[in-house]
Structure formats: C-alpha cells, structure tokens
Structure 1
Amino acid sequence: MNSRSFALTAALILSSLCGFGAPRLKIAYFQADVTPSVGIPVAYAPTRSIVDSLSARGVVISPEGQKPIVLCVVDWLLISNESSDLFRNYLAKAAGTTPDRVSVHTVHQHDTPWCDQSSEKALAANGLGGIRFDLQFLDGCMRRTAEALARALPKSKEVKKVGFGEAKVEKVASNRRILGPDGKVRIVRFSSSRDSAAIQAPEGLIDPFLKSVSFWDGSGKPIVVLNYYATHPQSYYGQGDVNPEFIGMARNARHNKSGIPQLFFIGAAGNIAAGKYNNGSPEMRQVLADRIEKALDEAFENTVQQPAPEKISWQVAPLRLPLAGFMVADSLKNQLADTSKDFNTRFAAARQLAWLERNKRNAPVVVTSLQLGGIRLLQLPGEPFIEYQLAAQQYRPGEKVCTAAYGDGGMVYIGTSVAYSQGGYEVDRRVNATNEKAEAVLTRAIRDVMKP
C-alpha cells in the first residue's frame, strides 16, 4: 500500500470511529400561544374565562441530505379539512419543506378551539356562521405558529444521541366501550363517570405505557422530549373555561420543572378515556395531571440513549376511508338547511358535508411514519381506536413504536370492523363518517408506512 492509499484508509477508519460518516441530524423546537380571548368560540361554548393558556408546540427535524420534517401538536380540539391543509402549508413554507413532510396534531382538550374552515363555510352559507369557529383568530394562530418555527429554525441544534424511555401510567386510561352478554355495547364509559357499573367494570383494552423520545446534544444535554400516551384528556368541560386539561398541565409542569421543552401527542384514543378513574369533580383534574406527570418523570428516568441513527426515513401512505351509507350530499344539505332542526344536528351535517367534499380528492388524508433507527413515530388522522396502535407495535416488534393520532379530524372516529356491529357512541353517525371496511383500509396504510 502506497503512502497516499494508507492515508486515505486511515482517514476513513478515523471518520467511522468518530461518527463523522453518519448523517448529521438537527432539531429545532418552536412554540406559539394559541389561546382564545373571552367570547371566541371553543368546542362547546364561547370562551367565558381563561384558566390557563394554550400552546402550539413542534419540532423541525432536519436530517442531512433530506428536506426537513415538521411534527406539531396544538392545544385544540381538532384541526380538520381545509384548515389542516392550510396549517401544514404554513409550516412547510416556514421550514423550507413540502406539506407531505409536515404532520399537525391536536391534544384534543374539550374546552379549546375547533379549527375547520370547511365546516364554517357550510355553516355560514346557512346563516350559522361564527357559532363554533372564528376563522380570523384561527388563521392568526396558524400564522403565528409558522412565524415561531421560522424564528427557531436558525437555532437548530445538532443531535448526537436519541433516547427512548417508557413508564406505566397508573389509574388514568380505561376503555370506553363496555360490552354486555350479547356482545353489544352496554355502557359507554365517557371521560368521567359516577355510575357504579361503569366504575366497577374492568379497565378493558388499553395501552398502559407512556413513551418518551428525547433528542440530545453533544454536551449530553437533552434538547427536547416527545411524549406519547393514549387517552382522551378530559376531566370535566363544556362551559368555555379554556385550559389545557390534565395532559397539558402535566406537560407544562414537566417542562417548567426540568427546563426541557416537552411535546405531548395523544395516541389512538378513540375508545379510551379516564372514565373509570375520574368522577368529573374539579379536584380530579389535578389528580390525573399528577399521575401523568409521574409517568413523564419515570419515562425520562428510564431513557436509554443511542447515537443519532444513520437510518432516518419519512414514509407516507395515502388514506381514503370508506364512507358511511348516510353520507349523501343532497340529504346532508337538506338537513343543514332545515331550520326546524337544532343547531347540533345542523352542525353535524355541515361537518359531514365538509368531509364528503374533501373525499372528492384522490387521497384526502395520509398516514405517515418517521423512522429514527430503531424508533418509529407513527402519525394517524382522526380518532382511531386503540387497536390500531397496538397492532402497529406488533408490525415492528424489534422497534420502539410511538403513535400520534388526532391528525386531520374530518372523519372524527375510526372504529374497528366489529365495532360498527356492536353499537355505541363512537360509531354513531353524529361522530363517525366511515363504515366497517375502514379497518382494512387503515390497517393497510399503517403497514405500508411501517415497512423497513
């Protein structure tokens, strides 16, 4: 070997040992205030007070040689249809990437705004505008979040290690659907309950683990933590007292205590809530928050770090869910226009028309996956059942799989095939625009993005 070849070989070996050959990975954290003022509509009433502020939080993940990836989660009920597209477009432009590499989710608290420009247009055309949506406020929040991203991007930090930890959450989540001897839903155990039968019934099928994915810089300090847990986040709600609920309270407490920015993504919680452990009293909100905060602490303490992965990939699968039989435009338009109907009935018709219009596109929504070496982050639309989250973990048994649901919420709930014959709230036409074939379609899309 001549001296030049020897020097080249030595340089390659040194590069490999030092990790210089691995792709550089950068991350930036951004945050914006998205709190409504008094009088602005939230999910079920106009805002009458601000108990605590709301935030949009996100990260821009920039693998070397790839366009940036944006993951964002907002303290709102749902973001749907045109609004989902608009938000992703704003963030994509600010990040210098494409909308298909942006995923926006909600924490789904029920005393927070609902964001759906498409539904508002249908309502306004029938004299019902401004009751559930304030488009000027919502658009301002989306733009403000994009501006926060743009300011954060130049401050991106290089990631040297990625960590994963998990902890079991005690006495928070329970399955909402309690079946009777005939296999039909006998009790829907909502976010709170004082019914002894609902409280005494088994916890049911849940995913009891809170999972944390952390990004670390070269000095050994954590940059940001992404947390995942599947439950509806409500303790009590409905009067317009804006707050981030027990999930947001725990996230904020962990952020303030540790100084480490925290994101919290709700998993596939369509049939999961705190009803077994929550009687709906104001005192229980803090109790539930403390239980979540304890799991956040433990998951971080249990974190195992690995060098920043060489394999970083973003996968996208189009999703076109089958429509329920009642999703017929003329019928829904008549229902929306019928002034003898109550507002909630007409509101449901407006939302269903918006989703029907969105389905004229070839692929109205997508399922996405981010692979970070042995860690997989799965992003889903709507309110899917916990079965989808558990199945995704089985598809990649050698990896750590974290699921974020509550992406585009135009279809609202997505049940399993058997659920549509069992009955219950989650498959009622007021909140579910799909049918029993949805499971096969969503499962196929999840499998597609979970491939190696």
Structure 2
Amino acid sequence: MNISIKNETMYKTGFLVALLFSITHLTIAGQIRVGVFNVDATPPVGSPVAYAIARSVTDPLSARGIVILSDQKPIVLCAVDWIGISNEGQDVWRKQLAQAANTTIDRVSVHVLHQHDGVRCDFTIEKILEQYGLGGTSIDNPFVSKVINNVAAAVTEAIKNAQPVTHIGFGQAKVDSVASNRRILGPDGKVAIIRWSSSKDPAAITAPEGLIDPWLKSVSLWNGDKPIVVMSYYTTHPQSYYGKGDVTCEFIGIARNAREKSLNGVPHINFNGASGNISAGKYNDGSVPMRPVLAARVEIAMKKAWDSTKKRRITSDEMSWKNVGIILPLGKNIIEEDLRKRLSDQKATLSERYRAAEKLAWYQRSMDKTAVNISSLRLGKVWLLNVPGELFVEYQLAAQKLRPSGEYVCTAAYEEYGPGYIGTKIAYSQGGYETGDIVSGVAPEVEEVLAKAIEQVLKR
C-alpha cells in the first residue's frame, strides 16, 4: 500500500473518530448523571456508641448518598446513621470522598441522622481523650476509619454505575403526631419546661406542639419513568428510647428502610433537618412499643410525599452549587482552663469528661480559625441546603422564605457537629438546656453570621 494513501486513510479515520466523539459530547452536553451508594456503618458489639458500649444490634446502620455528575465538578451528598461527625472527623470524611469522586472538598457534604445509639466520629476529640487516659472509651478510630474507606470505595463504584437524570421530582406531606418543640416558654418568656425526646410529664405532653416544621419533603431523581433515588428531608430528633447500647437506626431509619422496600429497592436516603430544638417528646413516652408507632407515622408521610410527587425535566443548566466558609463565633462559656479541669477530674463521669473534650476540640478549631462550610445545591426549583450542628428550626423556616413561591428549600443539618447546639440570638437569653452550660459552643451572635451565609448560598 502506498504510504501516502495509508497516512491519508489514517488521518480520515482519526478525523471521523474525533468528529464522532465531538457529536456524542454535544449530545450529552447539559446532561446530569447520578450514582448511588449504600455502605454498612454498623459498629461491632463491644465498640463504643454514643452513651454506652454496643451490646446488640437491633437495626443495622448505613452510610447512604449520591454522586452527581455533569459538565461541572462532581458533587457528593452523604447521610450517615451516626450521632455526630465533627472536626477532623469531618475533614477526613470529606477529603476521602472528594478524592474518590475526583472533586474538591467544598463540593462534598456529609451529614448524620443523629441517632443516639449511633457512633461518634472525631479524630480531634480522640486525640484529646488519649492525653487524659481515655482513648478508645468513646470513639473507635479503627472502625470509623474502615467505614470511611468503604464509603470512599463505594463512591468510586457509584460513579462507574451512574445513570442519566432526565427529571427531578418533588412532593411533600405533613407528618402527624411526631415532632414537637423542646422549649416550652413560661409567661416571663423563659424556658419553663424542657420537653425531651420522650416524656411522661403531663405538662409537657399537654402543652402545644410549638414551633416546628411539620412537612416531610421528598426529592427524587429519574431516568425517564424510572426512579433512580429518593431523598427525604424531615426535622426532629429521631429518638424513641436509647442509651443501653442497643444499636438502631431508630424510627426515622426504620421508616426509610420500609419505604425503600415498598418501592422495590429504589434507594432511599433521609436527611435530618434543623432539629436542635425539636423532638418527639409530646407524642413519645419512651416505651418500647412507641418506636414502631413513630416509624409508621413517618413512613405514612413518606408515602404521601411520594404519591404527591410532580416531575419536571432538568439539565445541568438548571443546576448550581454554592458554598461559603464562615467562622462561627465561639461561646464565651467555652474556656480552655475550665475544660481541662473537667477532663482531669477523676470523680467526673465519662460523659462529663467526654463533653469537655468535645468542646475543647471545638475551642481548638475556633482558635485555628477553621471555617465551617455552608452550601446549597440548586436543582431547578428545588434547593438542597446543607448546614452545621444541632441547628434550631427557626433557621430552616427562615431559609424557606428566601425563595419565592413555587420553589422549595430542603434543609439538611447535622453536617459539622463540632459546635453542638446552635440557637437563635434570643434563645440564649431564655435559658433551657440547648443554650446553657457547654452543650452549645457558639455565642448569640451566631444568628447574624449564619443567617447571612444561608442567604448567600440561596441566591441565584
């Protein structure tokens, strides 16, 4: 064969391949794809959970999430059946998931559902506990590291199996007789009754629900008529009873799992909203039979939200990610000397010493000016807002008002768990558990800082 003819043929073939690639690329320009992952996150018996050593597994725990692919950098959203992931724990989770997804850490959001018989994850706290001879008593580093590695591997696999997204669905329904406000004010405007996750106090039970967000929101991604994944957003402390070491995903996880089964295995991921001052205390007496009752009430609302779903087409042109890093003002009651004294006190309980380590870790992060990430993902008319800590519901309700009628804001809190409770400015003058002692690591000025950041990420 003549060499010049051969070269010309090779050139034409290469040109056609390049042209075909270009045409294919143009065809999928604007397309969104999503990969889904679900990883076991259940601690072994004998491993520490939030308030005890795990003695049994009632329900398995999981780490579930999605990877969104488009002509933009990948986005990872993850929800874990643990009580909290904070400080260097958050850093490691986000870094490893970002590496697995080939994206930047600011486009990774990791939340917990805050089950109280779940796992704690914080490498900063564990370093402090080790200094005081308490290493391994509250956090199982080898276990949590293994789960992080497994989730990162699952993110990589999810990308390989990603499916095209043609439509987004949205529906919502009210949850009946689950959520209630924890803080019942007296005539003087101060907290008169604290309504815990369970209550047998007649005054707490008969008091009104108070300020809550009763709506369970359902966001679904579709490939034509085929649902790929469902994400639900509901706001309450997910506790029925806890503290003995019987590991469970609680009534919220039970409802989620039941819905997934009802939809023939369509993945279901739940995110907990701004539940710092919200619990089931009005409707839950803490008895064993109440857990399935609460689960059934949430499951009913999940089904109603699904049944009310309306779909619309979506492309990457209608998708955007915004984030801002902010410094949360440190609470004036977070004093290093006092925390170290409590840690050194051999007469203090493990829980008291752990809490001191928890806030000392947050103190150190604050002194280092470590920013907390606030972010939102816009998918057409649906906004997925990601915020830190045990945020009060007022922030969530205010965020919803920042978008016009016909658009929906779904709030996922419990991302960076380091600050603990985050109240409104007025709440710090009202007394009560959530804004007293050291359970809140921030100052009243947090409202102005956080509200501004939320407004920033919810603007087009």
Q: TM-score, normalised by structure 2?
A: 0.92
Question: 1:291 — aligned with what?
Answer: 297
Partner of 1:243: 248
Is the 8 Å Cα contact of residues 270 and 413 (structure 1) preserved in structure 2? yes
Give the alignment of 1:347-362 within 5 angstroms.
347-362=354-369
Corresponding residue to 1:390 among 389, 394, 397? 397
1:54 maps to which of 36, 44, 61: 61
Post-superposition offset of 1:20 = 5.4
Deviations 1:257-299 (A, max 9, x none): 1121000000001000000011111100000000010011110
CA distance in 1, matches of 2:458, 2:260: 31
For 2:181, the aligned partner's letter is N
Give the drift of 1:158: 0.5
Could you tell me which amino acid in structure 2 is paired with residue 139 of structure 1?
Answer: S
Q: How many residues align?
A: 433
- The partner residue of 1:204 within 207, 210, 214 is 210
1:6 maps to which residue? none
Q: Distance in 2 between matches of 1:305 and 1:20?
A: 22
**1:124-139 equivalences in 2 (<5 Å):** 124-139=130-145
User: Is 2:321 the partner of 1:314?
Assistant: yes
CA distance, structure 1, for counterparts of residue 28 and residue 69 of structure 2: 16
The alignment partner of 1:427 has SS state of: coil
Contact persistence 1:27–1:158 (CA under 8 A):
yes
Secondary structure in 2 matching 1:150: helix
Identity %: 53
1:157-236 paired onto structure 2 within 5 Å: 157-218=163-224, 220-236=225-241
For 1:382 and 1:360, the matched residues in 2 are separated by 18
CA distance in 2, matches of 1:21, 1:341: 61
Letter in 1 for 2:454: I
Residue 352 (structure 2) aligned to one of 342, 345, 351: 345
Equivalent of 2:262 in 253, 257, 262: 257
Deviation at 1:331, TM superposition (A): 2.9
* Aligned residue in 2 for 1:142: 148
- The alpha carbon displacement at 1:373 in A equals 1.3
Q: What is the deviation of 1:56?
A: 0.3
Tell me how far apart the structure 1 counterparts of residues 269 and 275 of structure 2 sit (CA, whole Å).
17
With 354-363 and 108-117 compared, the bigger mean Cα shift is at: 354-363
Query: Where do 5+ consecutive residues of structure 1 fail to align?
Result: 1-14
Question: Among 92, 109, 113, which residue is 1:103 paired with?
Answer: 109
CA distance in 1, matches of 2:326, 2:127: 24
| Equivalent of residue 115 in structure 1, options 108, 111, 121 | 121
Q: Deviations over 1:214-239 (max 9, x none)?
A: 00003x11000110010000000000
Q: Matched residues in 2 for 1:451 and 1:22: separation? A: 25
CA contact (8 A) 1:80 1:409 kept: yes
Q: 1:414 aligns with which of 422, 427, 432?
A: 422
2:446 corresponds to 1:441: no
Cα deviation, 1:389-431, whole Å, max 9, x if unaligned, reads: 0000001123111000000100110000110000101012231
Once the two structures are superposed, the pairs formed by residues 2-151 of structure 1 within 5 Å of their partners are 23-63=30-70, 65-151=71-157
SS of residue paired to 1:282: coil
Structure 2, unmatched stretches of 5+, are: 1-22
Structure with bigger gyration radius: 2
Q: For 1:48 and 1:243, how far apart are their aligned partners in 2?
A: 11
Letter in structure 1 aligned against 2:314 = A
Give 1:21 shift. Answer: 8.1
Task: Note if contact 1:31-1:149 (Cα within 8 Å) is conserved in structure 2.
Answer: no
Residue 39 of structure 1, CA deviation: 0.4
Q: In 2, Cα distance between the equivalents of 1:228 and 1:299?
A: 11
Query: How far 1:78 moved relative to its partner?
Result: 0.3
CA drift at 1:205:
0.4
d(CA) in 1 for partners of 2:287 and 2:357?
A: 33
Query: In structure 2, how many angstroms separate the alpha carbons of the residues matched to 1:32 and 1:364?
Result: 28
| AA in 1 matched with 2:54 | T
